[in-house]
Amino acid sequence: MQIVFLHGFAAGGAVWDQYRPEFPDALMPTLHFSDDGTAILPELTGPAIIVGWSMGGMIAVEMLRRQPQFVKGLVLISSAPSYVASDLFPEGKPLSVLHELRDAVAQGDLKVLQDFQKQLFTPAEIRDGWLARFRRAVGPSLPTEPATLLPQLAFLEKWRTAAAELSATAPVALLHGTGDVIVDPSATMAWQQFFPQAQVKLVEAGHALPFVHHTLVSSTITLLRGSHGA
């Protein structure tokens, strides 16, 4: 069973490097988008479990929509049916917040990206050194150029889950931190509109749950894979 890891905004495939020892054959692509924010989806060639963090969870759902015959499980981490506030997810961010981020990125303001990284973690996690570890481990691989980040923001602005197009037959696990300030934890309830049988795990964490709670994510993937005998 193929495992595919999909990263969030302002990250890349290297953010999953710590999972490589347990899942050595996993795919960890760096996602790409057209200038208008259209996602260029990884193509599946066989059965797969898709693990998506934040924006990557949205891409995972797009892959389910496009290739439902291959998607045998979803692990959606710190993600939501839309990033900005919508009927699907009223607790999403105001559009003005995303536009402020877009304008700062367009001007090459690196401080806004540093501030975004801080928001990935709770104050307690920062005191425990998780932000510093994150920056040491994956900081050099994180994109900062507007040409990469602006299409991602365009995707986040317009993307909404298309409920009528989803197949809910694949098992779904929803993992979210109770202290997430980037995507409100109520996103788990919003996802359950589409995946009513989903397994939900709320943990004491911020948005960077895959980095802080490695064991939880790994065990969730292993359980899903085991349910298929792979």
Q: Which two tokens stand for residue 164?
A: 């009528």
Structural domain spans, the chain = 2-226
CA–CA dist 133, 171 (Å, integer): 32
CA–CA dist 124, 221 (Å, integer): 26
Beta partners for residue 40, in sequence order: 32
| Tally of residues, the chain | 230
Please say whether the structural domain 2-226 has been given the CATH code 3.90.950.10. no
- Buried-exposed string 14-25: b where 16+ CB fall within 10 A, e elsewhere: bbbeebeeebee
- For every one of its 230 residues, what pLDDT tens digit does the chain have, with 9 covering 90 and above? 899 999 999 999 999 999 999 999 999 999 999 999 999 999 999 999 999 999 999 999 999 988 989 999 999 999 999 999 999 899 999 999 999 999 999 999 999 999 999 999 999 999 999 999 999 999 999 999 999 999 999 999 999 987 545 555 789 999 999 999 999 999 999 999 889 889 999 999 999 999 999 999 999 999 998 877 65
Q: How far, in whole angstroms, is CA 182 from its chain's centroid?
A: 11
CA–CA dist 191, 13 (Å, integer): 24
- Per-residue pLDDT of 83-99, as tens digits, reads 999 998 999 999 999 99
The pTM of the full predicted model, rounded to 2 decimals, is 0.95
